[in-house]
Amino acid sequence: MRLDRFIAKHTEHSQQTARRLIACGRVRVDAQVMRDGRQEIDRFATVQLDEQLLQQREALFFMLHKPAGYLSATCDPVHPTVLEFFAPALRPQLHIAGRLDRSTTGLLILTNDGLWSRHLTEPGQRIPKVYLVGTAEPVAEQAAQRFAQGVHLAREAVDTSPAQLQQLGPCLARLTIHEGRHHQVKRMFHAVGNRVTSLHRERMGRIELDPRLPPGQYRPLTAAEIASVTSPASRLV
Ligand code: URA
């Protein structure tokens, strides 16, 4: 529905008055002043007239079991993207909270809430991200200690924050990190002379990949999962 009609429908104003209010800069869509009454409004927009909230946008939070081969991007001319698993009407609303490499599988979270996703991904929040890692060479004995101390990443000229490594087999480990730098897990293993051959994200904070979700399927997050991201306890798990 057009914004001027939307204002008329949700207030006592006529459509003509609504157009004047819009032109005066008294209407905000998603916190931005909107002066064009022809702007289309759907259920994913927050609309305010002065300080009056006329519509709170519908919040979207999903977990996807990402299969290998899909890009964590909204569009790409060459490779299929994870957005292709979602209905066309949902796609423009969603962004990815913590990208995965094309070959990486597992838990991918998509939302339309930018503040919430920043909370989940900002290194300062220290929300753990847990990965199952397959390696080309047996994991070196000193790797756990190196990861706990922090590995130097030359490109950013930073040390990774302390990470926990749990050895599960000669070439299989579980790694918990608290940041999400570009190719971070692969670069950490490279720094200890190894190579990642498979990578699967199992968990972010308290949100675990639902074992009932086959690759390529998604489900909405539960209220408890959504709330867990902004609760201080999510940093500790
Ligand atoms: N670290 C990586 O190297 N790749 C991912 O996809 C996620 C974390």
Instruction: Give pLDDT tens digits for 35-79.
Output: 999 999 988 889 999 999 999 888 999 999 999 999 999 888 999
Amino acid at 179: E
Residue 229 and residue 205 in contact, taking contact as beta carbons nearer than 8 Å: yes
Please name the residue whose Cα sits nearest to atom 7 of ligand 1.
Answer: 100
CA-CA-CA-CA torsion for 144, 150, 151, 155, nearest 10 degrees? 150
Judge if 3-55 and 61-235 fold alike in CATH terms.
no
147 Cα to the center of ligand 1, angstroms: 15
The domain locations on the chain are 3-55, 61-235
| pLDDT at site 236 | 59
d(CA 27, CA 36): 10
Please name the residue whose Cα sits nearest to atom 3 of ligand 1.
Answer: 183
Average pLDDT of the segment spanning 116-120: 95
Residue 37 and residue 31 in contact, taking contact as beta carbons nearer than 8 Å: no
Residue 106 and residue 66 in contact, taking contact as beta carbons nearer than 8 Å: yes
131 Cα to the center of ligand 1, angstroms: 9
Pocket of ligand 1 (CB under 6 A): 100-101, 104, 183-186, 199
| pLDDT at site 237 | 64
Is a pLDDT exceeding 90 seen at residue 30?
no
d(CA 132, CA 151): 19
Architecture per CATH, domain 61-235, reads as 2-Layer Sandwich (3.30)
- Supply 88's token pair: 């066309």
| pLDDT at site 75 | 86
State the pTM of this model: 0.85
Please name the residue whose Cα sits nearest to atom 4 of ligand 1.
Answer: 183
196 Cα to the center of ligand 1, angstroms: 10
Q: Which residues are registered as beta bridge partners of 52?
A: 49
| pLDDT at site 54 | 96
Amino acid at 54: L
| pLDDT at site 127 | 94
| pLDDT at site 212 | 98
Is a pLDDT exceeding 90 seen at residue 235?
no
Architecture per CATH, domain 3-55, reads as Roll (3.10)
91 Cα to the center of ligand 1, angstroms: 23
Question: H-type helices in the chain, by residue range?
Answer: 3-10, 15-23, 114-121, 143-149, 184-191, 223-230
Catalytic residue numbers, as ranges: 101
Neighbours of 135 (CB within 10 A): 21
140-175 pLDDT, tens digit per residue, is 999 999 999 999 998 889 999 999 999 999 999 999
**2, 28, 38 from 53: Cα distances, Å:** 17, 10, 20
Instruction: Return the H-helix or E-strand segment holding 15.
Output: helix 15-23
Q: What are phi and psi of 9, to 5 degrees?
A: -70, -35
d(CA 106, CA 217): 11
68 Rama class: left (phi>0) / alpha (psi -120 to 50) / beta: beta
